[in-house]
Amino acid sequence: MTVSTSTPTRASRAPAAGGRARALSEVPLPPPAWSRVTRKVFGHRGLAIGLVCVGLAVLIALFAPLLAPHDPYFQDISNRMVPPVWHDKGSWEHVLGTDKLGRDYLSRLIYGTRISLVIGLVAALISGVIGTTLGVLAGYFGGRVDAFISYIITTRLAMPVVLVALALASLTGGSLTTVIVLLGLLLWDRFAVVSRSVTQQLRDAEYVYAARTLGCSLPYILLREVLPNIAGALIVVITLEMAHAILLEATLSFLGMGVQPPLPSWGLMVAEGKAYMFFQPWVIAIPGVALFVLVLAINLLGDGLRDLNAPGGRN
């Protein structure tokens, strides 16, 4: 379907004449822009699936109070570990059952969407600002600036992220905010690598040269000439880093150093269900599948966007 996520520079490739691009140029009268976009989107199955799933997740997160059948924090000790509805002892009262404190699992799952999405979005934004700033400066100036920033990137890459995040989350007493900030401060490396290599290609572009000759200020050139032209590559990185941040938050929370109870983080739900997984495997299966589907959808969306950006890079 797409190229490897481990080679982010590939996203920066100039669009070559791929099969789809050629097919489009043969259309005699170009259809209106929006329908062209929708055709492109739905012609690409992975992108369409990703878009629909992520859209659904966003809607679920936005309308969680309307969708959740119960209060996600309400404990009903007499109704603990009720199995899901497809189970013999399940009931429609608790569609996905209840946890060890008798809290409705479906409601917790629905509210958990909010946590994952907020963490993914905000952490990706923070790391995006840090990484893009570093990458654009390194790519635009080159020379010593580049050497210095590349050194920072190399150092960051050599730091064991999971370990450092665990230690810092434990020290700062993990909460939703600290986890978001921590992940934002740790996950900027891919933004920096991609924006650096794309900016290097743009540095000598004619319009950038023109802006320089006209005496435009440096911030103007970087923000108005360079940034819009690397945005396409950055959007792909944003999706990948969102997925990365969501997985890391779940991992931290699973290990007890991330989001703290009683918040319904999916990683925390797996941790709380761990003791019961031998006889009631659904307690870890349900939040795990939710996590998997969300991350998969975001990755599909990112891969699809990369293909739209650079159809030549499909190999």
Partner 1 sequence: MGTFIVRRLLVALGVALTISVVSFMLLHLSGDLATSIAGPEATAEQVAQIRTEYGLDRPIVSQYLDWLGGALQFDFGRSYYYQSTVVELIVERMPITLTLGGLALGLAVCISIPLGVVAALKRDSWVDRLALLFAVVGQAMPSFWFGLTLIVVFAVTLKWLPAAGSGGLEHFILPAIALGYYATPAMMRLTRTGMLEVLESDYIRTARAKGLSTTAVIFKHALRNAIIPVVALAAVELGFMLGGSVVIESVFSLGGLGQLAWDAISRNDYPVVQAVVLIIALFYIVLTLLADIANAALDPRIRTR
Residue 172, interface with partner 1 (CB under 8 A)?
A: yes
In 3D space, the residue among 303, 222, 311 whose CA is nearest the CA of residue 51 turns out to be 303
Residue 151, interface with partner 1 (CB under 8 A)?
A: yes
How far apart (Å, rounded) are the C-alpha atoms in residues 68 and 270? Answer: 19
Residue 171, interface with partner 1 (CB under 8 A)?
A: yes
Residues of this chain, 277-306, that bind partner 1 according to CB under 8 A: 277-278, 281, 284-285, 288, 291-293, 295-296, 299-300, 303
Residue 117, interface with partner 1 (CB under 8 A)?
A: no
In 3D space, the residue among 223, 148, 247, 245 whose CA is nearest the CA of residue 192 turns out to be 148
Residues of this chain, 257-276, that bind partner 1 according to CB under 8 A: 257, 267, 270, 274
Contact predicate 49/297, CB 8 Å:
yes
Residue 4, interface with partner 1 (CB under 8 A)?
A: yes
How far apart (Å, rounded) are the C-alpha atoms in residues 181 and 177? Answer: 6
CB of 232 to partner 1, least distance (A): 20
Which of 116/195 has CB closer to partner 1? 116
Which of 73/141 has CB closer to partner 1? 141
Contact predicate 2/302, CB 8 Å:
no
Which of 199/299 has CB closer to partner 1? 299
What are φ and ψ of residue 94, in 5° steps?
A: -125, 95
Instruction: Pick from 199, 254, 259, 265 the residue near partner 1 by CB under 8 A.
Output: 254
Residue 45, interface with partner 1 (CB under 8 A)?
A: no
Residues 6+ apart with CB under 8 A from 264: 72, 107, 108, 109, 111, 112, 115
How far apart (Å, rounded) are the C-alpha atoms in residues 219 and 199? Answer: 14
CB of 37 to partner 1, least distance (A): 23
Contact predicate 295/246, CB 8 Å:
yes
Interface residues toward partner 1, by CB under 8 A: 1, 3-7, 151, 154-155, 157-164, 166-168, 170-173, 243, 247, 250-251, 254-257, 267, 270, 274, 277-278, 281, 284-285, 288, 291-293, 295-296, 299-300, 303, 315
